[in-house]
Amino acid sequence: MSTSPLLEIKELRIAFGRSHHSAVAVNNVSLDLGVGEVVGLVGESGSGKSLTCRSVIRMMPSSGLMTATEINFDGRDIMSLSPAQLREHRAHNVGMIFQDPFSCLDPTKRIGEQIAETLRVNAGLASATAHDRALELLRSVNIDKPEQRYRAYPHELSGGMRQRVMIAIAVSAKPKLLVADEPTTALDVTTQAQILTLIKQLRAETGMSVLLVSHDFGVIAQVCDRVAVMYGGYVVEFGPVRDICTRPQHPYTRALLESIPSMESAGRHVRRAGILGQPPSLGDVVEGCPFASRCSFATPQCRSIEMTRRTVGEGHTSACPFVGDDLVSQGAGPIGRADSTEGDAS
């Protein structure tokens, strides 16, 4: 995927509160996303992944202050857009879907009309055209009997169906980028698989790029070309999804992958090591690597290293000065300790 980048985020920082006691939620994040590429953001709660994806449309919580050297989207710097240009950017360039489709839909309006409304307002279509196009969109997100569903209210649809409707709305303006923030977290696995397939299918059909946020490495691995692993507000590792899943270079990525329960353990009574302690919370002042306190490879110098990523493989960067292969050769057993608890942290 070495196409020209659609999106380039440089040194993004998001902080809350006034300068003297502000809490940094996203720190020094740099990412790029190619045309037609699917990039994943994976991390645990509080890692800053949702905030990072929202920076693409500069949608911040009221107390959040977002700064960046540059956020380049298709040749334009998002950071310097006027309010009107920003609205235009949100309406036409980026489509967004969230975890909870129900709360994003108006419960008193038929879903077809909600899609048509978006088309009339954002694409300036006439009512009749908007109606036809809305039906077409419902069909394109694999909703059967679209004429019937057009007249349904959100509460009459299942969770998966509602997420399809949200996707239809998100792609109605033919955006260049779809941002999906935990789109399948509230859904059953079977429905989740369908929604992920749909996202892949739409990407193939329209050539749009996708930025997918998830806490689930499994979901990321199913659809993404590249993945950025976030921890404590930093992107600690970024690279092709296959490389990262099979040869993780950052100790956090390694530990995270090793923590994921697997059906292969069925009946084998394995115990995973897990990760010692708990992630830093917002407002904690962390010097150096935020993972150092939980990392079994940490050395004193980890508390003072600069969190910039170094190239560790083709298109693969890691913020840990120790390369993963070194870690393995150090006789690295399981990361963390078997009897680890989070109890004594905090």
Q: Which of residues 190-229 bind another protein (CB under 8 A)?
A: 190, 192-193, 196, 213, 215-222
* Residues 76, 5 contacting (CB under 8 angstroms): no
What is the closest distance, in whole angstroms, from the C-beta atom of residue 110 to another protein in the complex? Answer: 22
What is the closest distance, in whole angstroms, from the C-beta atom of residue 234 to another protein in the complex? Answer: 15
Closest CB to another protein among residues 217, 234: 217
Per CB under 8 A, contacts with another protein among 317-336 are 328, 333-334
What is the closest distance, in whole angstroms, from the C-beta atom of residue 259 to another protein in the complex? Answer: 4
What is the closest distance, in whole angstroms, from the C-beta atom of residue 127 to another protein in the complex? Answer: 36
Per CB under 8 A, contacts with another protein among 58-117 are 61, 63-64, 99-100
What is the closest distance, in whole angstroms, from the C-beta atom of residue 50 to another protein in the complex? Answer: 3
271, 231, 8, 83: CA torsion to nearest 10: 130
Closest CB to another protein among residues 16, 150: 16
Tokens describing residue 181: 């923030």
CA distance linking residue 235 with residue 198, whole number of Å: 27
What is the closest distance, in whole angstroms, from the C-beta atom of residue 123 to another protein in the complex? Answer: 28
Residue 341 binding another protein, by CB under 8 A: yes
Q: How far is CA 325 from CA 192, 236, 242, 272, 321, in A?
A: 34, 16, 16, 21, 12
What is the closest distance, in whole angstroms, from the C-beta atom of residue 338 to another protein in the complex? Answer: 7
Amino acid identity of 48?
Answer: G
Closest CB to another protein among residues 172, 222: 222
Tokens describing residue 228: 């950025």
What is the closest distance, in whole angstroms, from the C-beta atom of residue 102 to another protein in the complex? Answer: 13
Per CB under 8 A, contacts with another protein among 130-189 are 159, 181-182, 185, 188-189
Closest CB to another protein among residues 82, 246: 246
Closest CB to another protein among residues 262, 301: 262
Contacts 24+ apart (CB under 8 A), 81-86: 86/57, 86/58
* Short-list 203, 154, 163, CA closest to 183: 163
Residue 346 binding another protein, by CB under 8 A: yes
What is the closest distance, in whole angstroms, from the C-beta atom of residue 274 to another protein in the complex? Answer: 3
293 CB-near residues (< 8 Å, 6+ apart)? 277, 280, 345
Closest CB to another protein among residues 120, 250: 250
In the sheet where 226-231 sits, what is the strand order? 94-97, 177-181, 209-214, 38-42, 226-231, 234-240, 316-318, 310-313
Per CB under 8 A, contacts with another protein among 244-303 are 245-248, 254-275, 278-279, 281-283
Interface size with another protein, residues (CB under 8 A): 81
CA distance linking residue 139 with residue 61, whole number of Å: 34
Q: Which residue has the tokens 């992958």?
A: 257
Closest CB to another protein among residues 146, 279: 279
CA distance linking residue 48 with residue 230, whole number of Å: 7
Closest CB to another protein among residues 99, 118: 99
CA distance linking residue 210 with residue 94, whole number of Å: 10
Residue 7 binding another protein, by CB under 8 A: no
Closest CB to another protein among residues 72, 293: 293
Q: How many other β-carbons are positioned within 10 Å of the β-carbon of residue 77?
A: 14
